[in-house]
Amino acid sequence: MWYPRIVNRTLFTLVCSGMVACVDYGVTRSQQLDAWTQPDRESNVDILWVLDNSGSMSEEHASLAEHAASFTDTLASADLEFRLGLVTTDPADMGTLLGPVLDETSSDLTTVFVEAVNGAGVKGTREEEGFSTAIAGATTSITPDFARDSANLEVVFYSDEDDNGTIEPQQFIDDLGATRSGYAVRVNTIVGDLPSGCASAVAAADPGVRYGEAREKTKGVRESICTVDMDAVLQRIANTVIGLNTEFELTELPLLNTMVVQVDGVAVPRRDVDGWRYSGADNKIVFDGWAIPRPGAKVTATYFDWTGGPLPDTGVAAL
């Protein structure tokens, strides 16, 4: 007859009794402590927002202005040298910045950013050329107060329609990269969903196919302009441009019901929104929303490992 016997908190041994020959099977579980430090971005960055200012963007501009602090507050909290500028998708405005260039020394960052968004208006052409205006905005000879050829470049497209210009996505990436001297270039998008667009209480949008292709080529962040929770969208964009990690790989397979995750000594709840979740596909903990560790934060995960193989994450207690 087989039966389990608990030897101690971390050692479980199966034994047998009677006259039947048997083999002992042992499963040893040890407590693990994984620790990481959330890095600051290693170099400075230019952040260029490209706003669609066509007539269909009134609600989307209002949403961006209302929730802008989720972007600017995260940016201001980072120990990072940055420049922040905004341009429109209208080729008639080619290279014209909306409002002043903002940086880490700017006071009232949110107010000035919102003023720039509101200043874009919604009287621009319906033939948006975001690729062309982004290249102009990132070129030092056109926007010398903003663009630096010795800084990383993060572009954020905010549009309810796709790019309608003649520049192909790969050519756009090549031209954008030419504005930098060996520094990184990344495209992030807040546009219509693929493949059919989207509609919600706050926005309606055509699919951003060309913007999406440029984003994919540079491994940027993809967000939907139809998302109701724009605070979460803007915070994820901010985390990306300041270089924050949201995923941390564990050294062992965890028993999830034993795991405690802390940031700077404070326990973080396990939940999909504003907390952490476990990704079994790559053995990582993934932070979301307000739970994402700030620059320089100390992150720890304490847990017992599962040496018998990964357990299905059913949300119920496991051995």
* Residue-wise pLDDT tens digits, 127-148: 999 999 999 999 999 999 999 9
Calpha distance 291→245 (Å, rounded): 12
Pick among 3.30.300.10, 3.40.640.10, 3.40.50.410, 3.30.230.10: CATH of 45-241: 3.40.50.410
- Mean pLDDT (the chain) is 87
Calpha distance 153→149 (Å, rounded): 9
In this predicted structure, what is the pLDDT of residue 22?
Answer: 43
Answer yes or no: is pLDDT of 71 > 80: yes
Instruction: Identify the residue with better confidence: 267 or 290.
Output: 267
Please give the sequence-ordered ranges of beta strands (E in DSSP) within 11-67, or none if there are none: 11-16, 25-28, 31-37, 45-51
pTM of the entire structure? Answer: 0.75
In eight-state DSSP terms, residue 297 is: -
Q: What does the pLDDT average to over 313-318?
A: 41
Structural domain spans, the chain = 29-39+245-304, 45-241
